Structure 1
């Protein structure tokens, strides 16, 4: 990033911004040019708001953010910065909003170690909005709660997926200004703190998958509550009707995947503002057939699946004309349901009625005259239904289908999502020209890939034929599938080379899995400079040649597996320029020579698995090479590294300790 006469150049973007500007927003530009301490951005010392979210800088965190001492708002979420969050952030004492959150699935790794959370926030006493989702904090309940307790003006605390442990310490009760609390997917354990129910401004409490146990406390005094999400825990006990009176703003209740029992109170469904209610995968019993006129007319999502509810079909749902998703599967309901009754639910997009003891009667009306204009997902397993309408999504996985006969052929023209994995299908592969998602994995297909398959997958982002017996080569036309993000042809009986163009379209592909497919030839050195691959698995083929240099263009790769081939090359030091690598498998090839990348100062800070077994490496392996593999060390403070995953069997090298 350079400057010239009041112009700011960043990642190919030319922006007019005099050095006195106050707000700077480059969010969502997908900028991939690196930004470092020399960038002229840090000369904008009058900045009050800086937003670099949703970019691809793919570089270590700059360390001179403290130059922007007037910042009130700093948003670096999903910016592509990696590694340790620098201490300089802690010197921005005017900050009101700090967002360093990342997507743990696709984002680049960030951690708060040195400095830790306490050091980062101890001077940020004006913070009102704090987002650290996905940042590896690794702190106990006592540590992280006490670190946050001085931030008495904090209104939003969002720290999901932060490797926090519990139980939650009472010091967090000082944050009485909190309106939003999101701590999902941590290991908090213990009981839900009673003091959460005393926060007067609480509007959102999201604590899913945190290993809480015990009963749900009464939130009847939290009259401003809009969202209560406590799913995927070990909560037990009953839900008392008195706990749900007085709410006028509560819209979302998510209590699924717990151990709750007893009956479902009409008071719960009768919350006037309620839009979404999920009680699935619990132990609720009894009947809900007498709720006529008692349920909120605003409900659009109702999920009561996987409980022990019984009785006749709850006809009150037909009064909920705004209902878009209904799931009553896997209960003990019984009786006969006239399919014509569903025609009143014109907004229905997902309907699940499987695995009960009822039947759906389609004989009392002409089913072809029924209109379900938005119905996209239908789950009617074990419902004795003989006909169904046009769908955009059809899920029939793990049945015993062996071929395509009517009525399936009549509906395929409208399908956008088709999941048929885990059946016994054989013969020709059905390719649907309008489909976005096709999963035919784990079947018995034994034909060849159609020559023009790519031309028929113009809209597909997911295509899987893994675990079949597909013959022949991969057609060049596959590269015409410009929207493909996931291509999985693994575990088949293919032959011939991998089309060169397949690596060129890596700018759209995220996952390419050709494992165990009997492919031969070389790995073409044609990886696009805008490569977006995160998973490349070519294990157990007959590939030869060298590791292509252009692989370094794939700066987001997390898994690279080229094991069990015939690659003949020296150790691929150039791969050390891919900082995101977590798994690297080179085993059982013909790699040779010394393992020495002393001329390459880059590293693999996130590498967890390195498999070099059964090659022809020789010479000395200095222990200093291993000490740079930070993510493998269970305790980096120890002098002697304790590597968690490292295979060197049959390498023929000597480890030198210095």
Structure 2
């Protein structure tokens, strides 16, 4: 059990008890008014109960990590009033319901410095309200060209790299580029949204495309529908995008091929159609990034993928949506036109040119006689029989 004295004191600034075997009910925690708490990390334990309402008293809270426990409750809207919150991790619990909070005056002012929100592997559902995303100014800030994410994901022993940007001396476990890793320092430039493994549905909010400084976006394993927002092409710092295992349809926005920092992409197991955009980054992704979309074609998918259940490329009159994105395959078209033109020339010559037809039939007769010598005797007898009948009629 966690001693009550650790939560009732108002002068404690950092409480880090992560990765232990602590038990108990978190709803019994009592945080006093005007608490100075800035960091609360209880991740990786066996804590149960509902979200503690007294956390609303921690108005200086910057980092809250309750991941990998057994907490069962709705989305903690009481945190919306804490404008200093930078990191919110609730992953791998039993949270449920919608994440939308009622409109208040503070709703349009809160979470302006939020840089990491991880709600993965819970039971959240419904649509993601785009209006709540408009206040996340730290993710919208246009920081210009910066170092790739791999240069920032360094452990604390790398003191030289630690001086690159301001960082929090707190560690969290994140999912980046399809694998888990420990982030020993949370740098002020690092941004992440992970809503994977829930029951979110409806369209993906186009407001996410305004997060120009976002590094990692994971919306996989949900029930999102509709098209991939074309506004995603504005996220110039994005390095990892995972939209797999949803019900997304339509074409892949061509703007995604212009994301120069994008090094991981997974759009598999959806209902996407059309040709995969061509681009420098897209040419580096394996075909596993696009499999499971029956209407999707083009590199890096190959012809062999059609045998695995993928439909062939759409025809010129395929009738696919968003026809403005369709491209004509001139190589295939030229072969078809050439074949049709050749057949027309050959057939026309046989029908309308008597001299050419006689030469053609004589040549074919000589070839067949060489292959089947017995045909000459039968055809010769047939010719003599026809000649006698013609004389008898005369």
Instruction: Give the TM-score of the pair, scaled to structure 2.
Output: 0.57
CA separation in 2, counterparts of 1:282 and 1:266? 17
The corresponding residue for 2:84 is 126
- Aligned partner of 1:310 among 278, 291, 303: 303
The corresponding residue for 2:118 is 158
- Aligned partner of 1:265 among 270, 277, 285: 277
Q: How do 1:13-92 and structure 2 match up within 5 A? A: 34-37=1-4, 39=5, 41-42=6-7, 46-61=11-26, 62-66=28-32, 69-92=35-58
**Shift of the alpha carbon at 1:207?**
0.7
Change (3 A) 1:170 1:286: closer
**Shift of the alpha carbon at 1:42?**
4.7
What root-mean-square deviation, in Å, do the aligned CA atoms of Structure 1 and Structure 2 show? 3.3
Q: How do 1:162-177 and structure 2 match up within 5 A? A: 162-172=122-132, 173-177=134-138
The Cα offsets for residues 458-501 of structure 1, whole Å up to 9 and x where unpaired, read as xxxxxxxxxxxxxxxxxxxxxxxxxxxxxxxxxxxxxxxxxxxx
Change (3 A) 1:269 1:248: closer
CA separation in 2, counterparts of 1:64 and 1:286? 57
CA separation in 2, counterparts of 1:68 and 1:77? 24
Matched, 1:248 2:248: no
Change (3 A) 1:99 1:271: farther
Matched, 1:278 2:289: yes
Change (3 A) 1:135 1:73: same
**Shift of the alpha carbon at 1:141?**
5.0
The Cα offsets for residues 102-146 of structure 1, whole Å up to 9 and x where unpaired, read as 2xxxxx420235xx6122x14422001111123444333543898
CA separation in 2, counterparts of 1:164 and 1:98? 18
Q: Are the equivalent residues in 1 in contact too, given 2:201–2:222 (CA < 8 A)?
A: yes
The corresponding residue for 2:59 is 93
Aligned length: 255
- Higher helix proportion: 2
Q: How do 1:112-261 and structure 2 match up within 5 A? A: 112=73, 117-119=76-78, 121-140=79-98, 142-143=100-101, 150-172=110-132, 173-178=134-139, 179-218=191-230, 219-240=232-253, 242-261=254-273
Q: Are the equivalent residues in 2 in contact too, given 1:145–1:168 (CA < 8 A)?
A: no
Which 5+ residue runs of structure 1 have no aligned equivalent? 1-33, 103-107, 292-303, 314-327, 334-658
Q: Which has the higher contact order (CA 8 A, sep 6+)?
A: 2
Q: Are the equivalent residues in 1 in contact too, given 2:113–2:138 (CA < 8 A)?
A: yes
Which 5+ residue runs of structure 2 have no aligned equivalent? 140-190, 312-394
